[in-house]
Amino acid sequence: MLKRRLFSIISFMLILLLCFPAAALGKGWDDPTKPGWGNGEKAKHGWIVSKMNHMTLEEKIGQLFIIHMYGQTPTDPDFEETNLNNNRGAKNFKKAIEEYHIGGVIYFNWSQNIGNPANIEQVNALSNGLQDIAMDQRMPIPLFISTDQEGGIVQRLTEPGTVFPGNMALGATRSTDLAADSAGIMGSELSSLGINMNFAPVADVNVNPENPVIGVRSFSEDPDLVSDMAVSQVQAYQEEKVVPTAKHFPGHGDTNVDSHYGLPIINHDLETLRNVDLKPFQAAIDAGIEAIMTAHIVVPALDDSGLPATLSKPILTDLLREEMGFDGLIVTDSLGMSGANVVEPERVPVEAFKAGNDILLNPPNVEQSYNAMLEAVESGEISEERIDESVYRILKAKMEKGLFGNPKTNPDAVENIGSEENLAKADEIANKSITMVKNENNVLPLSTEQDVLITGPSLGEPEYLAEQLADKGFNVSDYATSTSPTQGQIDEAVSRAKDADTVLVTTYTANTNPSQQQLVSALESTGKDVVVSAIRNPYDLMAFPEVDGYLATYGNRDVSIEALSSVLIGEVNPQGKLPVTIPELYDYGHHLGY
C-alpha cells in the first residue's frame, strides 16, 4: 500500500514537472532565460502562460497598476503618514507591493523619489530595493519603474543628469540623429538608475498656438517631422532597454484646454485625424513601439459618446488595436487628472480597462481602484480572460526587456550620468535649435558698447541670462517680473529701460498672457530697441509683431538659456528653423542668421 502511494505521488510530480515546469521550480522559475525554456516565440509564450496559470486573480489585477508613492527608500518612515493621507493604500512602497501586487511605480520629484538636484545613488538604491521586494513575493514579478523624461520642460531627472532641450527645440534642428542622441543618453541615464519605462516621446502634432499643455513638448506642427523624430527616439530608447511610450493618443496637439484641469475636445474630421494626429502613432507602431499612452480628450469624429479617449472603446480597441494593428501596452494617462474623471471615481479604472487599456496609471485612490477592478471581475462585468490578455502583454514586455533575468541595475553605472560627452551633446542641440525670426536694422548681435536691460517673467530666466552676458563682458542689468506682470512691475521696467540702449524681454507664453503683452507694449513705447526672446512657445510674436528683434528658445532650461546668450552676442550663428507656423507672420521653416 505504501509503495503504491509513493508511486502515485512520484508519478504526479513527474507529470507536474513535464506539464508545468514553473510549478516545480519554486522561485527559481522566474527567469525565462534559464536553460530549459528555449528562445523561440513558442517557448516564450509557454513560459508566460505557465507563469499566469499560477497567479491568483489578485496578483493579476495588481499587475495592471502603476502607482506613485512618497519616499526616498522602499520603507521611508518619513512619508508613512503622507502616503496614507494621500490614498496611496499603504504606508510605503514595500507594503504597496505586498498588499496590491502592483505592476509598477512612477517616480516624481514632488513625491521625493527623485530630488532636484537628484541624489543618483539614492535613486539607484530605491530602484534596486523595490525590485528586491517584488522578486521576493510569492509570485516574483519585476516592476516597471517609470517616469516622465521628455527633455525640456518635462524632466524628472535633472542635475547631475544631462538636461536636454525639449522636443520643439529638436524639431527646430530638423535632425533625427540629434533626436536619437538625446533619447539614447536619457535612456542610458534612466537605465542606470533602474528606470526601465519612460513616458516619452510625445507624438502629438502641435497645430494650436494656444495649446496650454503640449506646445514645446511637441516636435512640430508637421506630422511627418513628428513621425520621424518620434521613431528615432523610440529606437534609441529600445537600444537602452527602456520601454518607450508614445503619447497622447489619438493626439493632443489641437487643444486649448489642459486635460489636467478640464476635458478638451478635438473637432478634427476623420481625414485630418488620419493625415495629422494619428500619423506619428502609426509610424511608432510600425517601428515596433511597446507602449502607447492615451489622452483624456474627446474626439467626436471617433466616438460621439462624449467620453474621453481614455474611456473610449471605439478609440482604443476598434481604432488603435484593430485598425492600426497595435498589440503592445495601452497605458492610461494619469487617472488623477480631471479629464479622466467624467464618471464616478471608483468607475474610472473599470471603464478605462473595459475601453482597452492594459495599464492603469496613477489612480488617485489606490485601494479604491484596486478593489473596484477586483469586484468588476468577481461580478462578471470584466471577464478573467480579458484580464489575462493585459497581464500577458505586461509579462511579455517585462520578459522581452530582460527584467525577469535581472531587474536590478549596477550601482556603478551611475558614474556615466552627466558625463562631459553627454553634456556636450545637450549643448550642441541647444546651440543648433535657437531660431532667429526677426532682426530689424541688425539690432542683433548685441555690442559690448551697449547698455542692455533684460526683463520679463522670472520663468523666462532674465537673471540667469543676464549673468551669462555679464560673464562675457557685456553691460547688463536685469529685472524679473511675475508671470503676469503687475502695473507696478511694468512701470518699474519702463523706468529702468530709460538707462538702457537695448531692452531684451524674455517672454513666457505671452501670446496667451495679456499682462506680458502690456509689458512689451510699454517697453516699445520708450523708443528703445526692443528684442524679445520667447523662452517657451514660439508663438509670442503674434501679440507684438512690431518688436525690433525676435528669437525662439523653446525652453527655459539652463542649457537653452546659455545657447541663447551665445546667439545674442554673435558667438553662435543661429541655425534653428521654425518647426511651427507663426500665424499671419512667419511660415514653417522660416529662419535668419548673421
Q: Where are the domains of the chain?
A: 55-421, 434-568
How large is the average pLDDT for residues 115-142?
98
Question: Each residue of 36-48: pLDDT tens digit?
Answer: 555 678 888 999 9
Q: CATH number for the 55-421 domain, one of 3.90.120.10, 2.60.40.10, 3.20.20.300, 3.30.1330.10?
A: 3.20.20.300
How large is the average pLDDT for residues 282-304?
98
CA separation for the pair 571, 544 (Å, rounded): 27
Catalytic (active site) residue 260:
yes
Do the Cβ atoms of 346 and 369 come closer than 8 Å? Answer: yes
pLDDT above 70 for 234:
yes
pLDDT above 80 for 27:
no
pLDDT above 50 for 370:
yes
Q: Which of 258, 260, 558, 590 is catalytic?
A: 260
The burial of 49, by beta-carbon neighbours within 10 Å (0-12 exposed, 13-18 middle, 19 or more buried), is given as: middle
pLDDT above 60 for 163:
yes
pLDDT-derived band of residue 64, with 50, 70 and 90 as boundaries?
very high
Do the Cβ atoms of 166 and 214 come closer than 8 Å? Answer: no
More confident residue, 42 or 419: 419
Catalytic (active site) residue 333:
yes
The CA-atom distances, in angstroms, between 383 and each of 57, 101, 113, 312, 354 are 11, 19, 35, 18, 10
Q: What is the pLDDT of residue 6?
A: 39
How large is the average pLDDT for residues 439-461?
97
pLDDT above 50 for 10:
no
Nearest CA to 120 out of 200, 190, 197 is that of 190
pTM above 0.85, yes or no: yes
CA separation for the pair 83, 90 (Å, rounded): 7
CA separation for the pair 590, 582 (Å, rounded): 10
CATH superfamily ID and name for 434-568: Glycoside hydrolase family 3 C-terminal domain (3.40.50.1700)
How large is the average pLDDT for residues 120-146?
98
pLDDT above 80 for 526:
yes
Q: Which of 31, 204, 303, 333 is catalytic?
A: 333
pLDDT above 80 for 29:
no
